[in-house]
Structure 1
Amino acid sequence: MKLGKVYFVGAGPGDPELITVKGKKIIEQADVIVYAGSLVNPSVLADRKPASIVYNSAHMTLEEIILVMEQAVKKGSVVARVHTGDPSIFGAIREQIECLRERGIPFEVVPGVSSFLGAAAVMNLEYTVPGVSQTVILTRKEGRTPVPPGQSLAELATHRASTVIFLSTAMIDEVVQELTKGYPLSTPAAVVYRATWQDELIIRGTLADIATRVADSGIEKTALILVGDFLGDYYGRSELYHPGFTHGFRRSKSTPEGNEA
């Protein structure tokens, strides 16, 4: 019998319409679905086959997940391993991929819209504002899971880049304490709870008061912390569309047009 295949699918940030067309088709065709039930909106599974078997990986260990995949693929089944956002960002897919490789199980990764992009969309933000920041840092606070040397929030804060902090809202006081070793207290900050979900909530402030605002809201999980001057009012004009800036597709207004097609 022909082997099936495992697809790691990014389900997007929450809104079921923000999954990719390819990801949606895979879920619709899958015989077995293993989804991160604590984070993925169940609505993205709404159009699955009635006969498909669904597992919630929130209640499973890595070994149990791999066993389900292996058994299904050996029967020729299509497996959709559905992660929140994009599976490459805090998705813990590397260990799953290595297990599949060891067993000779075919797989493919289908990207998705990360929650940090969903957060920018609902707040009408640009992370890479000209003259403000051209660097985006995606990170997390050290907790039960450590971070490598040189990657603490305090060290990353010295870059004053646009920073998005995952999985850390419950430690907001400690987060602020570390960030202020690099950012001034006046730096704009925001916490976005369940971006693009129907119950999303946006809390705005600065490093001076964001922890208090978050504590008052009661939010502790499924939220992102955004920090940096990209959240502020200042922005520089992009050179890309400046009339005096030329590139391969547009000449300066002061340069005569050529006969290019």
Structure 2
Amino acid sequence: MNQKPVWIVGAGPGAPDLLTLRAARLVEQAEVLVWTDSLINPQIAALAPEGCEQVRTSTLTLEQVMEVVLDRARAGKTVVRLHDGDPCLYGAIAEQICRLADAGIGVEVVPGLSAYQATASALQSELTIPGLVQTIVLSRAGGRTGVPAREALERLAALRASLCLYLSARHVEEVQTELLRHYPADTPVAIGYRVSWPDEWIKVVPLADMARVSQERQLIRTTLYVVSPALAAPAEARSRLYSASHNHLFRGGVS
């Protein structure tokens, strides 16, 4: 393997100060920055040093991107492949890593904060409420590329968990129709557009209004839906972990 790995780095949801320290350090040290300019805040790319070669990928195919990455890596450059959000979610990194491995070039992946986390934080909400919901599902509508049949939206919605849907705004009518077969119509849905960017827009609406509000805002991309009963959790909901009656390794309980 090449001694200098290619770094696949998560840029987080948008705000530069939501970069991890490791991600920021790598961008600041990059000799070649290959970044998704259609989705990443330019202020993050601007952290790269003077003289860094910056390659924007919005108009490139994966093959063209990898041609650049492989060429610069073989030349011994410090290459940072910067992805929006967390690269392990809908980042196509498996294909990139395979091509790098075939070329004998090592890879290091740096996680990034995901939009669902930034959305919950902006709403000051917890998505796992004791006795109400304890599961978070990350998925998307089928769309042109489809999803495996076992992961069809009807199966995921049947859980009535905290369901976070990426890449689904173009199909919001179909999504709402399917969700209403499983969730009550008044289930809260957080609609997050460009979360943590300066023009961020987040609104919580009943599930029955999800499609209408999305269409009124003309949302077709960079939109996340968080469908969850946790967004309307009762005030008395409480975790047992911090209850005085609950003992564990570090604290005795009160009977």
Within a 5 Å distance, the mapping from 1:45-64 to structure 2 comes to: 45-64=45-64
Aligned to 2:233: 233
Query: Residue 58 of structure 2 aligns to a residue in which SS?
Result: helix
Aligned to 1:148: 148
Per-residue CA deviations over 1:177-200 (Å, capped at 9, x if unaligned) read 111121121211121111111111
Task: Check whether the contact 1:128–1:136 (CA below 8 A) recurs between aligned residues.
Answer: yes
Q: Using the alignment, how far apart are the partners of 2:19 and 2:205 within structure 1?
A: 30
Report the CA distance between 1:171 and its aligned residue.
1.5
Within a 5 Å distance, the mapping from 1:85-124 to structure 2 comes to: 85-124=85-124
Task: Check whether the contact 1:4–1:75 (CA below 8 A) recurs between aligned residues.
Answer: no
Report the CA distance between 1:60 and its aligned residue.
1.0
AA in 2 matched with 1:217? R
Aligned to 2:178: 178
Task: Check whether the contact 2:129–2:233 (CA below 8 A) recurs between aligned residues.
Answer: no
Query: Residue 77 of structure 1 aligns to a residue in which SS?
Result: coil
Q: Using the alignment, how far apart are the partners of 1:164 and 1:226 within structure 2?
A: 4
Identity %: 39
Aligned to 1:221: 221
Q: Using the alignment, how far apart are the partners of 2:43 and 2:22 within structure 1?
A: 16
- What are the ranges of 5 or more consecutive residues in structure 2 without an aligned counterpart? none
Q: Using the alignment, how far apart are the partners of 2:150 and 2:181 within structure 1?
A: 14
Query: Residue 208 of structure 2 aligns to a residue in which SS?
Result: coil
Query: Residue 183 of structure 1 aligns to a residue in which SS?
Result: coil
Aligned to 1:202: 202
Query: Residue 171 of structure 1 aligns to a residue in which SS?
Result: helix
Task: Check whether the contact 2:32–2:72 (CA below 8 A) recurs between aligned residues.
Answer: yes
Q: Using the alignment, how far apart are the partners of 1:173 and 1:245 within structure 2?
A: 45
Report which stretch shifted further, 147-156 or 241-250.
147-156
Aligned to 2:250: 249
Task: Check whether the contact 1:165–1:226 (CA below 8 A) recurs between aligned residues.
Answer: yes
Task: Check whether the contact 1:203–1:214 (CA below 8 A) recurs between aligned residues.
Answer: no
Per-residue CA deviations over 1:77-112 (Å, capped at 9, x if unaligned) read 010000011100111111001111111011100111
AA in 2 matched with 1:239? R
| Bigger Rg, structure 1 or 2 | 1
AA in 1 matched with 2:143? G
Report the CA distance between 1:151 and its aligned residue.
0.9
Query: Residue 208 of structure 1 aligns to a residue in which SS?
Result: helix
Query: Residue 66 of structure 1 aligns to a residue in which SS?
Result: helix
Aligned to 1:258: none
Runs of 4+ residues over 3 Å off in structure 1: none
Query: Residue 86 of structure 1 aligns to a residue in which SS?
Result: coil
- CA-atom RMSD in angstroms: 1.2
Q: Using the alignment, how far apart are the partners of 2:4 and 2:60 within structure 1?
A: 22
Task: Check whether the contact 2:153–2:178 (CA below 8 A) recurs between aligned residues.
Answer: yes
Aligned to 1:259: none
Q: Using the alignment, how far apart are the partners of 2:206 and 2:233 within structure 1?
A: 13
Q: Using the alignment, how far apart are the partners of 1:46 and 1:70 within structure 2?
A: 23
Task: Check whether the contact 1:3–1:77 (CA below 8 A) recurs between aligned residues.
Answer: no
Aligned to 1:257: none
Aligned length: 253
Taking structure 1 as the reference length, what is the TM-score of the superposition? Answer: 0.94
